[in-house]
């Protein structure tokens, strides 16, 4: 089976490409390299002994995208390519809408033109917004109180996919809503290495650990949780990647949507504590104000994916921290 992975040199895309190759799929990668490096393909090769064919293409370029599909008859596309920095999306909304939505529309147009009928889309649990719940399931409404354009692009793309599928009964799609991906491939050769100042907890922790940032600010210790810090459903990126394989193997006509999360919430303080236990050092922290838009507790009800995809997480937050530290060793 020939699979095109858009955004395949990025964090989640590269881990998924590795798992697809390990499972024997024929993988090709498309990426515009705006937030990733071509050398990631060498690391994919080191792990799997296969170097996927690579296209440096921006999905907003219809003709170049069509050329990719003219070269190979893909059976399916896994679509990760997109901008993902929440804060930046607030400052540059048009860039986010143009990139994420424009790119996806072109991709669908090209898939339509070349009759490629299977799509897996990288969505986010952020589409649920704030509904005053703790555990979120797929039946809940989306597009409620989303606080940033990045989140809106995910909710809007989901709708575009559903509408396109309605008009094209031979097309099928699986939408995967990720909770908080962390960690790195066991090999230490792939991981999360964002340009500039990162937005998410684990990449910030690793920058502090390496001395690139002076301290971690905990955004609030007065939430109504056991220890006062926020709780999140952290999912190891390898488990997440395997969720895409399960989705690919179990595609059905029409559109299906699944949460990919562990169902377990871990607090920010707990993450820091585990990180310190693994490094044997004390991460410098300070308690700051609550961050706007943060929810006290947010985790997946992952039972639908477990039932229909026969997938569930196997790795823990501690595994993810260990694998992240192993990856950092290789960056030095
Ligand atoms: C964020 C995004 C979400 C995106 C997800 C990707 C928002 C509202 N949501 O989720 O759209 O899909 O990242 O993983 O931005 N924290 C600190 N100090 C820091 C950084 C984070 O205390 O310096 C805390 C936050 O308050 C939060 C937790 O760590 O409680 C996780 O934060 P983060 O990694 O940014 O993820 P989310 O906010 O859950």
Instruction: Give the pLDDT confidence of 163-185 residue by residue, as tens digits.
Output: 999 999 999 999 999 999 999 99
Residue located nearest, by CA, to atom 4 of ligand 1: 126
Residue located nearest, by CA, to atom 29 of ligand 1: 201
Alpha-carbon distance 255 to 315, whole Å? 28
Q: What is the pTM of this model?
A: 0.97
Q: From the CB of 294, is ligand 1 less than 6 Å away?
A: yes
Structure confidence at residue 144 (pLDDT): 83
Q: From the CB of 276, is ligand 1 less than 6 Å away?
A: no
Structure confidence at residue 255 (pLDDT): 98
All residues at 6 or more sequence positions from 115 whose CB lies less than 8 Å from its CB, including other chains? none
Residue 225 has pLDDT above 90, yes or no: yes
Residue 310 has pLDDT above 90, yes or no: yes
Element (H, E) at 78: strand 76-79
Annotated catalytic residue: which of 11, 55, 136, 150?
150
Q: What value does the mean pLDDT take over residues 92-97?
A: 98
Alpha-carbon distance 281 to 294, whole Å? 28
From ligand 1's centre to the CA of 156, what distance in Å?
A: 21
Q: What value does the mean pLDDT take over residues 91-103?
A: 97
Strands 26-31 and 172-178: unpaired
Q: From the CB of 147, is ligand 1 less than 6 Å away?
A: yes
Residue located nearest, by CA, to atom 3 of ligand 1: 126
**Active-site residue, 150 included:** yes
Q: What value does the mean pLDDT take over residues 59-88?
A: 97
Q: From the CB of 245, is ligand 1 less than 6 Å away?
A: no
Ligand 1 atom with least separation from CA of 218: 22
Residue 143 has pLDDT above 90, yes or no: no
Residue 332 has pLDDT above 80, yes or no: no
Residue 87 has pLDDT above 90, yes or no: no
Q: What value does the mean pLDDT take over residues 150-167?
A: 98
Q: How far is CA 295 from CA 23, 80, 152, 180, 225, in A?
A: 37, 25, 17, 13, 11
Neighbour-count burial of 104, counting CB atoms closer than 10 A to its CB (0-12 exposed, 13-18 middle, 19+ buried): buried
- Percent of the chain scored above 70 by pLDDT? 100
Ligand 1 atom with least separation from CA of 232: 39
Ligand 1 atom with least separation from CA of 124: 12
Residue 194 has pLDDT above 80, yes or no: no
Q: What is the dihedral of CA 28, 32, 34, 35, to 10 degrees?
A: -10
Structure confidence at residue 328 (pLDDT): 94
Structure confidence at residue 49 (pLDDT): 98
Residue 244 has pLDDT above 80, yes or no: yes
Residue 196 has pLDDT above 80, yes or no: no
Mutational test site, ligand 1, from 201, 208, 286, 300, max ligand atoms within 8 Å of CB:
201
Average pLDDT value for the chain:
96
From ligand 1's centre to the CA of 278, what distance in Å?
A: 22
Q: What value does the mean pLDDT take over residues 220-228?
A: 97
């Amino acid at each position: 089976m020939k699979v095109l992975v858009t955004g395949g040199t990025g964090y989640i895309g590269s881990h998924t490409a590795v798992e697809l190759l390990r499972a024997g799929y024929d993988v090709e990668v498309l990426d515009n390299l705006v937030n990733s490096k071509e050398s990631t393909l060498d690391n994919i090769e080191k792990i799997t002994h296969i170097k996927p064919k690579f296209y440096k293409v921006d999905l907003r370029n219809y003709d170049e995208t069509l050329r990719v599909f003219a070269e190979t008859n893909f059976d399916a596309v896994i679509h990760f390519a997109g901008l993902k920095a929440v804060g930046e999306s607030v400052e540059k909304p048009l860039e986010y809408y143009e990139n994420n939505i424009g790119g996806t529309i072109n991709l669908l147009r090209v898939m339509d033109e070349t009759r490629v009928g299977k799509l897996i889309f990288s969505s986010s649990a952020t589409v649920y917004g704030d509904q005053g719940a703790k555990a979120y399931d797929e039946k809940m409404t989306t597009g409620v109180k989303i606080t940033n354009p990045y989140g809106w692009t995910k909710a809007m793309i989901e709708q575009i996919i559903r509408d396109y599928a309605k008009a094209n009964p031979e097309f099928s799609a699986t939408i995967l809503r990720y909770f908080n991906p962390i960690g790195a491939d066991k090999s230490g050769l792939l991981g999360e290495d964002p340009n500039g100042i990162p937005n998410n907890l684990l990449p910030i922790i690793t920058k502090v650990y390496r001395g690139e940032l002076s301290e971690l600010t905990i955004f609030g210790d007065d939430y109504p949780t056991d220890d006062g810090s926020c709780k999140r459903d952290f999912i190891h990126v390898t488990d997440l990647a395997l969720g895409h394989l399960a989705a690919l193997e179990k595609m059905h006509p029409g559109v299906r949507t699944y949460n990919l999360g562990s169902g377990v919430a871990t607090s920010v303080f707990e993450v820091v504590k585990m990180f310190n236990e693994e490094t044997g050092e004390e991460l410098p922290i300070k308690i700051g104000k609550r961050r706007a838009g943060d929810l006290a507790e947010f985790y997946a009800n992952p039972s639908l994916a477990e039932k229909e995809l026969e997938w569930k997480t196997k790795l823990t937050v501690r595994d993810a921290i260990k694998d992240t530290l192993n990856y950092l060793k290789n960056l030095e």
